[in-house]
Structure formats: C-alpha cells, structure tokens
C-alpha cells in the first residue's frame, strides 16, 4: 500500500521533468494585461490631479508652485501597481508598463516628476470627469503637497498666497 504510493509519487516526479525557467538569464515575457510600473506622460497630462486623488497608496504628490506651474510627482516607493491612476486618467496619460524589475539602491530612481504649464487654470477640477461620485475630485483649487520631503498633505486652497500651506498643518518631521 505505502510502497505503491511511493512508486506513484516517483512516477509523478519523473513525469514532471524539469520545470524551472531560465529566468533571469533569459527574460520572461509578461502577459499583455500585466501591471508593472506606471509611466506618466507629461505631453498628455493636463494636471487635473485625478490620479493623485484616487491613489490608494497616496503616492502621487501635487504642488502648485505658482499660477502657471504645477508639479505632479509620482514617488514609486510604496506603489502597489494597482493601476487605479491609469483607470481614472481622462487623458490616458498614465499607462501601466510591463516593467517590474525595479530593484534599486536609491529609491528616488523610481520617482517621476512632471512640471506642467497650467495656462491661466483656476484648478476648478472640471477637467476631471469622474467615473463615479466615488472618484470625484476631493481637492479642487491649489494644492501644496510637500515635494521636498515627499509628504502628502491632503489639503487645498482656493487661492495662492505667499504663506506656505505646509505650515498650517501639523506635521511631525522629526
């Protein structure tokens, strides 16, 4: 009885043969739907910040330097490649690439920075057509995420002033 099952198990192993793949000596192609690192296209981006509002990991920062210049910075540190940014982008400026070998010694290598010319935009949020009310832009107006220390600040203002918004939020930096 037991011997028979041992023979069965041996046959099982012999029939399987070798199954290990030569990766990473040879690259392994990924399926078409594979979700790798998101790539942000500055030429297509209109700066609506829909991706930043709907990023579950809060990995996309938005900072308005002045009336004409908005910085959108993707950090890539704890991004889980869920693809929500690509889902909600009205301009298809975010694509989920097939790039998954992202190990690096300097985590800043993974970040992407978009410096966008915003014309005379008032940041009313109308250029972001939300797929449903659940994705509606919560932060309209000007945003002041702390790009320097890579901190997300869920706060916006209807106007730009000289004082930085960062100061009125309680942040423990050290």
Partner 1 sequence: MAAREKLGFLRQRFGSAIVRADLTSDRRLYVFVEPRSVKEVCRALFRELDARYVITIGADDRPWSGCFMVAHNFAFDRDRLLVSVMCLLPADSPRIESISDVVPAANWAEREMRDLVGIEAVGHPYPKRLVLPDGWPDGLHPLRKDVEWDEAPDCDDSGTGYDFDDPPEGCTVVPFGPFHPTLDEPAHFRLYVEGEIVRGCEYRGFMVHRGIEKLAESVLGYNDIPIMAERICGICGCVHNVAYAQSVEEAVALRPPPRAEYIRTIMLELERLHSHLLWVGLACHIVGFDTLFMQAFRVREPVMWIAEKISGNRKTYGLCVIGGVRWDITPELSDELKTVLDKLESEWHSVARAVKNDRNIQRRTRGVGVADAKVVKEMGLIGPVARAAGVDIDCRRDHPYAAYDRVGFRVITAQSADVWGRLVVRTDEVFESIGIIRQCLARLEPGPIQTPIKEDLPAGRFGLSSVEAPRGESHHFVITGENNRPRRWRVRAPTYQNLQGVPSMIRDAQLADMTIALGSIDPCFSCTDRIEAVDVRYGSVKVWTPRELREMAKRPQSGRDIKDS
The minimum distance between CB 138 and partner 1, in angstroms, equals: 7
User: Within positions 141 to 170, which residues make up the interface with partner 1, using CB under 8 A?
Assistant: 149-151, 154
Identify whether the C-beta of residue 128 lies closer than 8 Å to the C-beta of residue 50.
yes
Of 38-46, 48-56, 63-71, 118-126, the segment contacting partner 1 by CB under 8 A is: 48-56
Residue 105 contacts by C-beta under 8 Å, 6 or more apart in sequence?
Answer: none
Task: Tell me if 2 contacts partner 1 by CB under 8 A.
Answer: yes
* C-alpha count within 13 angstroms, C-beta hemisphere, residue 127: 14
Of 39-47, 64-72, 116-124, 127-135, the segment contacting partner 1 by CB under 8 A is: 127-135
Task: Tell me if 56 contacts partner 1 by CB under 8 A.
Answer: yes
- CA 147 to chain CA centroid, Å, is 15
The whole-angstrom separation of Cα 74 and Cα 108 is: 10
Strands (E), 8-104: 38-40, 60-64, 69-74, 94-96
The minimum distance between CB 117 and partner 1, in angstroms, equals: 26
Strands (E), 99-158: 112-117, 142-143, 156-157
Identify whether the C-beta of residue 62 lies closer than 8 Å to the C-beta of residue 82.
no
The minimum distance between CB 68 and partner 1, in angstroms, equals: 27
Of 38-46, 61-69, 101-109, 156-164, the segment contacting partner 1 by CB under 8 A is: 101-109
Task: Tell me if 140 contacts partner 1 by CB under 8 A.
Answer: no
Residues lying near partner 1 in the complex (CB under 8 A):
1-2, 4-6, 8-9, 12-13, 16, 19, 30-31, 33-35, 54-58, 77, 80-84, 87, 96, 105-109, 111, 132-136, 138, 149-151, 154, 172-174
């Amino acid at each position: 009885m037991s011997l028979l099952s041992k023979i069965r198990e041996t046959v099982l192993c012999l029939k399987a043969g070798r199954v290990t793949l030569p990766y990473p000596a040879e690259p392994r192609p990924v399926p078409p739907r594979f979700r790798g690192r998101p790539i942000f296209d500055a030429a297509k981006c209109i700066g609506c910040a829909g991706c930043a509002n709907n990023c579950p990991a809060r990995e996309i920062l938005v900072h308005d330097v002045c009336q004409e210049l908005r910085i959108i910075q993707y950090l890539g540190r704890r991004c889980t490649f869920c693809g929500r940014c690509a889902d909600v982008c009205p301009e298809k400026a975010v694509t989920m690439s097939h790039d998954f070998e992202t190990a690096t010694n300097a985590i800043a290598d993974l970040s992407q920075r978009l410096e966008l010319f915003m014309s005379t935009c008032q940041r009313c949020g109308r250029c972001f057509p939300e797929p449903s009310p659940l994705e509606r832009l919560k932060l309209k107006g000007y945003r002041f995420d702390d790009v320097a220390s890579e901190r997300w600040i869920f706060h916006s203002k209807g106007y730009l002033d000289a004082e930085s918004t960062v100061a009125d939020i309680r942040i423990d930096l050290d």
